[in-house]
Structure 1
Amino acid sequence: MSATVRSLIKTRVDGVHALAPQSMVSDAVDLMNRRNIGAVVVMNPEAELLGVFTERDVLRRVLGEGLDAARTPLEAVMTREVFWIPPDCSVDEAMAVVTERNVRHLPVMEAGRVLGVISVRDLTGAVVAHREFELNELRSYVHGSYGGHVGS
């Protein structure tokens, strides 16, 4: 599949959802619920990526540990080991990263700047759309309605 992650980011209109490390877990949960997203990036004022806070972090590190979401800062419970990809990474390569690393969200970075976050749902949707396109092309070919020209 030749599509790149950059093409997926371009379709997004909502931008990067980021919070400061001192923000409370309850702020992150509120943002994730309002935007219907599963993760936020945690960045300092210089826009440096410090970590990612996900639904999984809420379950394991906050609720699982009995912490108060209104009093727990993100820096205490965020995922610090962040796997990221460049925007020219192919969708297939990105799928390999989420599978290998067992993550559901990948920041997309270029020149030290976060351009967006791609989820496994975004990647799966791109793969399905590409497979549907290929299937339609094959059907057209088999049924004789393919646009190509066959010379005599």
Structure 2
Amino acid sequence: MNVGHILKTKGGDVFTLRPEVTIAEVVEVLAERRIGAIVLVDEGGAVAGIVSERDVVRVLAKSGAGVLDKPIGEAMTVKVQTCSGETGIDEVLSIMTNGRFRHLPVIEGGRLAGIVSIGDIVKMKIEETEREAEQMREYIAAG
């Protein structure tokens, strides 16, 4: 299984914002869309950063509510780890675990093609395990 399989199932739609928006605007979008992270793109559409709920909480704890009027650039992760559609599920799980983050943008041909979350990965692993268990049951029943 690979990331491309997940994107075929869930789609490649990614809500993005520009790095100039305020932290308050990001908070509003995260809550409104019920998502855990937003990919920030520059004017050319290239990934400029990513911001998660966790990033927002950290900057609020450090600087207080006054930071809400600041650009999200002050809270976003600039060195964004990414993967491709060909990246295997186990590799993505390892990247997320080692990096301690829950969202990974997918880049194809230099462009943002989607985003996968730890929830997407866990769902895929559960489906894979259930499929393997069913195959084992069928094998045992046939023997």
Aligned pair partner of 2:13 in 7, 15, 31:
15
- How far 1:8 moved relative to its partner? 0.8
Q: Distance in 2 between the 1:102 and 1:39 partners?
A: 14
Aligned to 1:126: 124
In the other structure, the counterpart of 2:41 is: 43
State the shift of 1:17 in Å: 1.0
* Comparing 88-97 and 67-76, the one that deviates more: 67-76
The one-letter code of the counterpart of 1:116 is G
The answer for the alignment partner of 2:138 in structure 1 is 140
User: What value does the CA root-mean-square deviation take over the aligned residues?
Assistant: 1.7
Deviations 1:77-129 (A, max 9, x none): 11112110011111111111111221111110012211111111111110111
Worse overlay, 65-74 or 96-105: 65-74
Pair member with larger Rg: 1
Percent identity reads 29
Choose 4-13 or 134-143, whichever is displaced more: 4-13
In the alignment of these two chains, the number of paired residues is: 143
TM-score normalised by structure 1 residue count: 0.86
Cα offset, 1:13, TM superposition:
4.4
Structure 1 portions without partners, runs of 5+: 147-152
Segments of structure 2 that go 5 or more residues without pairing to the other structure are none
Q: 2:94 maps to which residue?
A: 96
Normalising to structure 2: TM-score of the pair? 0.91
2:69 matched to which residue of 1?
71
Cα distance change of structure 1 residues 14 and 94 upon mapping to structure 2, 3 Å threshold: closer
